[in-house]
Amino acid sequence: MKRNPKELEITHRSLSRRALLLGGFQLVFAGGLAMRMHHLQVDQADQFRLLAEENRINIRLLAPARGEIFDRNGIALARNSPSYRIIIVPEDAGDVDKVIKDLSRLIEIDPKDLERAIAEMRRSPPFLPVTLADQINWQEISKVAVNAPALPGITPEVGLARIYPRRADFAHVVGYVGPVSDYDLDQITDPEPILRIPRFQIGKVGFEAKRESMLRGKAGAKRVEVNATGRVMRELDRRDGVAGADMQLTVDADLQGYVQARLGNESASAVVIDCENGDLRAISSAPSFDPNLFVRGISIADYRELTENTYRPLANKSVQGTYPPGSTFKMIVALAALEEGIIGTEETVWCPGYLEVAGRRFHCWKRGGHGNVDLNTSLKRSCDVYYYDLALKVGIDKITAMAQRMGLGIRHDLPMSAVAAGLTPTKEWKSRNRGEDWLIGDTANSSIGQGFMLASPMQLAVMTARLATGRSITPRLIKSIDGVEQPDGAGTSLGLNENNLRTVRKGMFSVSNDRRGTGYKSRIIEETMRMAGKSGTSQVRNITAAERAAGVIRNKDLPWERRDHALFVSFAPFDKPKFAIAVIVEHGGGGSTAAAPIVRDVMLQALYGGTPPLAAYPKKDRNRIKAQQERLERERPARLQDASDRA
Amino acid sequence: MSYLEYNAKTTPTGLRKILFLNWPLVLLLISVACIGFLMLYSVAGGSVSPWMEPQVKRFGMGLAVMFFIAMVPIWFWRNMAVVAYLSSIALLLAVEFFGTIGMGAQRWIDLGFMRLQPSELTKITLVMLLAAYYDWLPREQTSRPLWIAIPVVAIMVPTFMVLRQPDLGTAILLLAAGGGVMFLAGVHWAYFAAVIAAGVGLITAVFQGRGSSWQLLKDYQYRRIDTFLDPSTDPLGAGYHITQSKIALGSGGWSGRGFMQGTQSRLNFLPEKHTDFIFTTLAEEFGFVGAVSLLGIYMLIVVFCIAAALATKDRFSALVIMGVSLTFFLYFAVNMSMVMGLAPVVGVPLPMVSYGGSVMLVLLAAFGLVQSAHVHRPR
């Protein structure tokens, strides 16, 4: 096929033209691609570099070691103990089912844990470790370690777990930690990222919760490079965290242990305060519970047992419970009257067994009355009529002012949960809260620590210490933080007349040492350690006129929850006060019978710094006391062993 | 002007032909292949296996094929055009029935020693067929509707067959390369204008119809379009690849993070990092300078081909050279647009760089045709 050369020339020219056109278009397109490259790689380079770094760098938080808590002598109250767990890396294990079967032949795996672990393995990539068993003991972990070659992908891991070696003794003071809950996170605005570490624990109640920020420490962090599936390729750098502060408390673990044992199964509370510096030596609330149960998460059955117990083991009665102080309040009224110069020590009041106030009869606890009563006798024998009379002369305002001066009705700043302020009523308090006028009868009721008056055992101990010293003793719980001594609570003079104070103290001395005193039976006979005290029996029910006529029902014939509260406050030695103690036995009956013996025993234990000699007790008590000492020694629970002891 | 019309004696004979090869083009191809080897070594974490070593072998084989084809006179290849085209259609049919399924599509025929991808082969045989057709067709017939219908059918048949696999990338390349050859052959402007207008109209209709009673695509197809237009709407799903790809490119900066230092590729944030997305690794590790250099080499190859096409007076030769260079251009242009987020992810490899035997062999064979046309051009 021949073609016309001219024709060929035309087609060739047309093709060349279109080839150049297409080539031009290609060049323009390539230019566009180059511009796009410039836009991405030069103009936006910084932004994309940042995104690339975000892709590859993961920040992993390192949990800091929680600060430990010790008593005044360095005995551990809350420690971090090594806890072992077993983890599996499915990828290294290969046949996961077989490895788990082999492992369960060596140690017991909780089926619930196993179920959770298998579910977790299914969700996460195979190179991420999954916890198979937690809180493994030393023997079991050794078994696993020895058989490690036969268990591919299984590694024992050591972590730190909180333990409370003194178990129930400090449950209410130190409190406990627990895993962070969703509720906890909701409570905090902008929670620290560390709280989201799985298994991270924070203080839930008590000192652990109140000083959480200092105990927790600062989280460390490591930066790791991860690939697209999240596998860690290498560690880039690491910044270690700062461990939480170690805290030394003012409490004495051995004394507290004794007090807790002495209170036994009563629903009771005892507070021992140092009269020299306000150190709280013991703060007990009974019955108690083992805080170690809460650390891993308490079982529903155990928890129900605690909440359904009528003796309320979870409540911290020493600072959180408030009770009518009863006759232990009488010193306040006496002191207020003495300071006002309303009475002299010699003046007497006639007690016929009742006082008529505004047309209503206010009864003395002693039906027949006390006859002629002076101030010393009124305390010694706890005459109510004397104080009705006195209170009406002094007026409620002066009494309340004195009560607050002595540390009642005000909130003491202590790092414990739910520290109660108690209540010292005033006229405007009543009109504001009850919408009623203050009645003269209210003053009479207040004078014997009944009516609206409320105080916690800790407040009563503070009151006693202030009476004993005349100084504004304030309670102190933290002795030192990381070795730095904290300011003490010795306080300054309350500015009270020393003679008046001495008069009141003498009355308290008579309570415990005069043959007719209400606390005479529970006295100390060791001359250098003589005790001064005051009993209190506070009613929780009204006694009707009919009942009074027929004879007041005795406590032991009443159901437990309607019986009187038994109180006793005391300081010793009388000449040079060292400790002040307040004890309350809920619904325990009479203060002198139920509370005073406890106070005496605890006082001697505190003064001697251990088991006191029987010579300090009255002769006829010694056999009984000896038996009691031996029983308590036997019953003192063993200190909790931790994993480091085994290792 | 066909081979009968010029004196065959003016063309070199025997081994002397080697001297008349278009050597700059050969060297450019070798340098692109070497860049590819380097990147395959890098994405394997500094190892010749599993990708670089087989790729080098295939490149050697491909070079041999290229030289062999170059030695054979171009007029022989022109006579083979129809046979080659029909064979590749037959192979596509074979894929339909005997093909191996891989990566969600049915594309390969297992020949035992290698897995052949007939759709790649078709790109070249289609260009050959169209070039031979327009070489044969008298100029005045070129824009007649009847004579246009024939090449359109020739393009559409393989296009629909690869779409069935499904392989959208190859379908687009077949359409664009075929259309390009028709354009070069001198088909009237009006046809292209009509097709483009129709295309624009269709796209408008697709978008306008969304949500109405006559919407043209399925909802999930619309969502894919959305993802392409704004990958950030679906950062962990379909948009993940393109987002990560852009991060890799951008983090390369001006001069890159250094050979084997690209975190995006080394830590597997990049998808398909040894095949379709290999350009992102290059851009990440060698930066803007490296990326533009590769683009520059590619464009030089295109420019040398256009020069070769202009230099030959043989119509078939010129059309084949232009067709091959256009196909080559489409490969890297679509691939780069895709990884830079300018085009949807359709699965087109970066020519001579991405790991893959069929593309490498077919492209080198195609450049063999270019060389043959160059060596045997009328002088």
DSSP B6: S
pLDDT top residue among B30 and A91: B30
Give the pLDDT band (50/70/90) at residue A117: confident
Nearest to A19 among B251, B298, B306 (CB): B306
- pLDDT tens sequence across B115-127: 778 888 999 999 9
pLDDT of residue A633: 86
Inter-chain residue contact B250 with A40, CB threshold 8 Å = yes
Chain A residues with CB under 8 Å of B185 CB are: 15
Nearest to B267 among A37, A42, A233 (CB): A233
DSSP B114: S
CB atoms within 10 A of CB A478: 20
pLDDT of residue A647: 33
Mean pLDDT: which of A571-575, B223-227, B345-349 is highest?
A: A571-575
Lowest mean pLDDT segment, chosen from A60-64, A205-209, A435-439, B6-10: B6-10
CB atoms within 10 A of CB B313: 16
Query: CA dihedral defined by B39, B42, B47, B50, rounded to 10 degrees?
Result: -50
Compute CA distances A333 → A288, B264, B341, whole Å. Answer: 35, 81, 88
Return d(Cα A221, Cα A199) in angstroms, integer: 17
CA angle A55, A58, A60 (to 5 degrees): 170
Return d(Cα A561, Cα A455) in angstroms, integer: 19
User: In this prediction, what percent of chain A has a pLDDT beyond 90?
Assistant: 62
Cα radius of gyration (chain A): 37
Mean pLDDT of A113-134: 82
Cα radius of gyration (chain B): 21
Return d(Cα B152, Cα B130) in angstroms, integer: 10
Nearest to B267 among A26, A49, A228 (CB): A228
Residue of chain B whose alpha carbon sits nearest to that of A231: B267
CB atoms within 10 A of CB A211: 21
Residue A173 has pLDDT above 90, yes or no: yes
pTM exceeding 0.90: no
Inter-chain residue contact A30 with B342, CB threshold 8 Å = no
pLDDT of residue A9: 81
Return d(Cα A336, Cα A341) in angstroms, integer: 9
Return d(Cα B376, Cα A253) in angstroms, integer: 106
Token pair in block for residue B142 = 């070129």
Chain A residues with CB under 8 Å of B254 CB are: 41-42, 45
H helices of chain B, in order, are: 23-43, 52-71, 74-98, 118-136, 145-163, 168-184, 189-208, 219-229, 239-252, 263-266, 278-311, 315-339, 357-375
Compute CA distances B318 → B10, B324, B325, B332, whole Å. Answer: 18, 10, 11, 22
Chain A residues with CB under 8 Å of B178 CB are: none
Give the pLDDT band (50/70/90) at residue A645: very low
Chain A residues with CB under 8 Å of B302 CB are: 23, 26
Residue A599 has pLDDT above 90, yes or no: yes
Nearest to B333 among A16, A33, A44 (CB): A33
pLDDT of residue B76: 92
Distance from B291 to chain A by nearest Cα, in Å?
Answer: 8
Per-window interface: A 232-291 vs B, CB < 8 A: 233
Amino acid at A117: A
pLDDT top residue among A226 and B109: A226
Chain A residues with CB under 8 Å of B313 CB are: 8, 12
Residue A636 has pLDDT above 80, yes or no: no
> Which numeric CATH code is attached to A253-635?
3.40.710.10
Between strands A176-179 and A201-205, the pairing is: antiparallel
Return d(Cα A642, Cα A166) in angstroms, integer: 11
**Residue A518 near residue A527 (C-beta atoms within 8 A):** no
pLDDT of residue B243: 85
Return d(Cα B295, Cα B286) in angstroms, integer: 13
Checking phi first, is residue A502 left (phi over 0); if not, alpha (psi -120 to 50) or beta? alpha
Domain ranges of chain A: 60-90+98-249, 253-635
pLDDT of residue B39: 95
Amino acid at A523: R
pLDDT of residue B104: 54
Residue of chain A whose alpha carbon sits nearest to that of B241: A228
pLDDT of residue A574: 96
pLDDT top residue among A58 and B9: A58
Inter-chain residue contact B185 with A34, CB threshold 8 Å = no
Return d(Cα B159, Cα B83) in angstroms, integer: 18
Query: CA dihedral defined by A134, A135, A141, A143, rounded to 10 degrees?
Result: -80
- pLDDT tens sequence across A48-88: 999 998 888 888 888 889 999 999 999 999 999 888 888 88
pLDDT of residue B106: 59
pLDDT top residue among B320 and B6: B320
**Residue A495 near residue A466 (C-beta atoms within 8 A):** no
Mean pLDDT of A566-587: 96
DSSP A229: T
Size of interface A-B (CB pairs under 8 A): 142
Lowest mean pLDDT segment, chosen from A185-189, A451-455, B23-27, B59-63: A185-189
pLDDT of residue A127: 78
Residue of chain A whose alpha carbon sits nearest to that of B257: A49
Compute CA distances A647 → A137, A160, A208, A332, A643, whole Å. Answer: 10, 14, 27, 56, 6
Mean pLDDT of A345-359: 90
Token pair in block for residue B364 = 């080198």
- pLDDT tens sequence across B364-375: 999 999 999 999
CATH architecture of A60-90+98-249: Alpha-Beta Complex (3.90)
Return d(Cα B122, Cα B158) in angstroms, integer: 7
Give the pLDDT band (50/70/90) at residue B293: very high
**Residue B187 near residue B194 (C-beta atoms within 8 A):** no
Domain ranges of chain B: 3-192+240-375
Give the pLDDT band (50/70/90) at residue A497: very high
Give the pLDDT band (50/70/90) at residue B231: low
pLDDT of residue B99: 67
Nearest to A40 among B302, B333, B340 (CB): B340
Return d(Cα B260, Cα B343) in angstroms, integer: 27
Chain B residues with CB under 8 Å of A48 CB are: 246-251
Residue A629 has pLDDT above 80, yes or no: yes
pLDDT top residue among B303 and B262: B303
Average pLDDT across chain A, whole number: 90
pLDDT of residue A111: 83
Inter-chain residue contact A30 with B333, CB threshold 8 Å = yes
- pLDDT tens sequence across A267-318: 999 999 999 999 999 999 999 999 999 987 788 899 999 999 999 999 999 9
pLDDT of residue A93: 83
Residue B217 has pLDDT above 80, yes or no: no
Mean pLDDT of B306-310: 94
Token pair in block for residue A103 = 């492992």
**Residue B75 near residue B378 (C-beta atoms within 8 A):** no
pLDDT of residue B234: 64
Helix (H, G, I), strand (E, B) or coil at A494: coil
**Consecutive H or E run containing A500:** helix A498-513
pLDDT top residue among A185 and A285: A285
Residue A233 has pLDDT above 70, yes or no: yes
Return d(Cα B307, Cα B303) in angstroms, integer: 6
Distance from B57 to chain A by nearest Cα, in Å?
Answer: 30
Inter-chain residue contact A27 with B269, CB threshold 8 Å = no
Give the pLDDT band (50/70/90) at residue A641: low
pLDDT of residue A646: 36
- Contacts with B189 (C-beta within 8 Å, 6 or more apart), sequence order: none
- pLDDT tens sequence across B153-197: 999 999 998 888 778 888 889 999 999 999 999 999 999 999 999
Lowest mean pLDDT segment, chosen from A9-23, A387-401, A542-556, B28-42: A542-556
pLDDT of residue A194: 80
Residue A240 has pLDDT above 90, yes or no: no
Nearest to B247 among A36, A52, A233 (CB): A52
pLDDT of residue A143: 85
Chain A residues with CB under 8 Å of B287 CB are: 41
CA angle B193, B194, B200 (to 5 degrees): 90
Tell me if A60-90+98-249 shares its fold with A253-635: no
pLDDT top residue among A124 and A334: A334
Inter-chain residue contact B264 with A52, CB threshold 8 Å = yes
Mean pLDDT of A8-27: 90
- pLDDT tens sequence across A448-473: 999 999 999 999 999 999 999 999 99
